[in-house]
A and B are shown apart, each in its own frame.
Chain A
Amino acid sequence: QVQLQESGPGLVKPSETLSLTCTVSGGSVSSGSYYWSWIRQPPGKGLEWIGYIYYSGSTNYNPSLKSRVTISVDTSKNQFSLKLSSVTAADTAVYYCARTFWSGYLVDYWGQGTLVTVSS
């Protein structure tokens, strides 16, 4: 059974960089069949796709966030990470890491999610 677990600060100051890591167990980020994704959900609102990374390091990002987002992967630790720069209150959300099947972009495993609040 694949499990994903997000970790990182729950509070970030405005204009700073949000950093989260997702640790994968029961599966490998080096699997060629999956992308490793970040998805967020502001309180009381809908889901927003942030982007994904392939084990090779290839990435794709939401155009609306592209200038501020970096996703990286560490295959030796079976982890992938998210950095979102210049955050504002609008970036306050539950951040999910997830596994996405390459064909059809179906998301079959999700982390439990972690709330990140942007506030001074």
Chain B
Amino acid sequence: QSALTQPASVSGSPGQSITISCTGTSSDVGGYNYVSWYQQHPGKAPKLMIYDVSNRPSGVSNRFSGSKSGNTASLTISGLQAEDEADYYCSSYTSSSTQVFGGGTKLTVL
């Protein structure tokens, strides 16, 4: 299985909005509403931010939102804050009942 495709890096200023894309195929992202997003700060374990494309776990800020169109899912962070600077990974269920991650995107808050 091939890793999902994410941009290596994105950046934005405090208060702005950014969007991170995650492109797969019809066998993973496009075939199921089972995309999740994870935030990882340096030296820490990943944290679930979005699941099932657009659902937020309890305790996650509503500044984080997810969507999907075709084979591409997106994570949008609005009202950027310094604490949002981290690596972000998407993940999808696959037709083989496995899980695949994206390559990760480094978010820099300018």
Check: B46 CB closer than 8 A to any chain A CB.
Answer: yes
Asked, given contacts A104-B34, A105-B34, whether A111 binds B93 with beta carbons under 8 Å apart, the answer is: no
Q: Which of B91, B96, B97, B98 contacts A107 (CB 8 A)?
A: B91
Closest B residue, CB atoms, query A106: B51
Residue total for B at the interface (Cβ-Cβ under 8 A):
26
B101 touches A48 (CB 8 A): yes
Contacts of A63 in B (CB 8 A): 1, 96, 98
A112 CA to B40 CA, complexed, in Å: 12
Closest B residue, CB atoms, query A4: B45
Contacts of A47 in B (CB 8 A): 38, 46, 89, 91, 101, 104
Check: A96 CB closer than 8 A to any chain B CB.
Answer: yes
A46 touches B103 (CB 8 A): yes
B51 touches A46 (CB 8 A): no
Q: Closest CB of chain A to B25's CB: distance in Å?
A: 15
Sort A-B residue pairs by CB-CB distance and give the 10 closest, nearest first: A106-B51, A110-B45, A104-B34, A46-B104, A47-B101, A49-B99, A105-B93, A106-B36, A46-B103, A105-B99
Task: Tell me the A residues contacting B by CB distance below 8 Å.
Answer: 37, 39, 45-49, 52, 60-64, 96, 100-101, 103-108, 110-113
Task: Tell me the B residues contacting A by CB distance below 8 Å.
Answer: 1, 3, 33-34, 36, 38, 45-48, 51-52, 57, 89, 91-93, 96-104
